[in-house]
Amino acid sequence: MSPEENYKKIENFSREIGLDFFGVADIQAVKADFILSSEIKEKFNRAISLGKKLIPSVLDDIIDHPTPLYFHHYRQINFFLDRAALILADYIRDLGAQALPIPASQVIDWERQKAHLSHKKIGELAGLGWLGRNNLLINPEVGAQFRLVTILTDLPLKSDVPLSRDCASCYLCLSVCPVRAIKESQAEFDHWACFEQLKEFRRKGYVGQYICGICVKACSGPK
């Protein structure tokens, strides 16, 4: 099958198993940064980015800190994405290609806060959104209210292109951040202040993981 036909087939299957967003990234220019073996990096030139929307009512529970309801949802969405990526990877392997699902949420370098790769970067290259002022991937339909997983593959696939959009004149999330980590320019995002706040939320026992949700709730897309 042609790269276009493969793309359509995989995209259709991803919808059937409940995924909301699908895109393909050409990773040749970025894979050197992946924290994976050179054997894996050499093998794959495409990454499939898959997204699942959050349920907005869960976010309604968040006022000024993450809640157990959000924590549970966050974990369930990650479980869903990991399972969907496994099913889709098997589907690709049945077509005779190789496919490697990358965990939706697994930090492997705590000091530098790094995962095997950046799902946000892959999603951006796959045309699913842009890097917003809140340092999250922003999708035109749902803003920051979705999560991502990635599959690396050698299946011939046409690749998407990044969106030529940004947050434009929207500044909605700047005022909601309790530590003012979100600035006018995404490049100025204060990673340190944000992470200190996540640690504080965890220390206070609101949730058992470094999550927040406040700027996710605020961002349902540019306003």
Footprint of ligand SF4 on this chain (CB under 6 A)? Answer: 132-134, 138, 143-144, 167, 170-173, 177, 179, 181-182, 194, 197, 212, 214-215, 218-219, 222
Cβ proximity to ligand SF4, 37 vs 169, nearer residue = 169
Across the beta sheet with 99-102, the strand order is 21-26, 46-53, 146-153, 99-102
CB of 169 to ligand SF4, least distance (A): 9
CB of 129 to ligand SF4, least distance (A): 10
CB of 211 to ligand SF4, least distance (A): 8
Whole-angstrom CA distances from 216 to 13, 39, 85 are 28, 36, 23
Residue type, 138: I
CB of 143 to ligand SF4, least distance (A): 5
DSSP E strands in 85-217: the ranges are 99-102, 130-131, 137-138, 146-153
Cβ proximity to ligand SF4, 101 vs 127, nearer residue = 127
Any idea how long the chain is?
223
CB of 107 to ligand SF4, least distance (A): 15
Q: Are 193 and 180 in contact (CB under 8 A)?
A: yes
Cβ proximity to ligand SF4, 162 vs 222, nearer residue = 222
Cβ proximity to ligand SF4, 36 vs 174, nearer residue = 174
Residue type, 25: A
Residue 11 to residue 49: CA distance in whole angstroms:
10
Cβ proximity to ligand SF4, 36 vs 170, nearer residue = 170
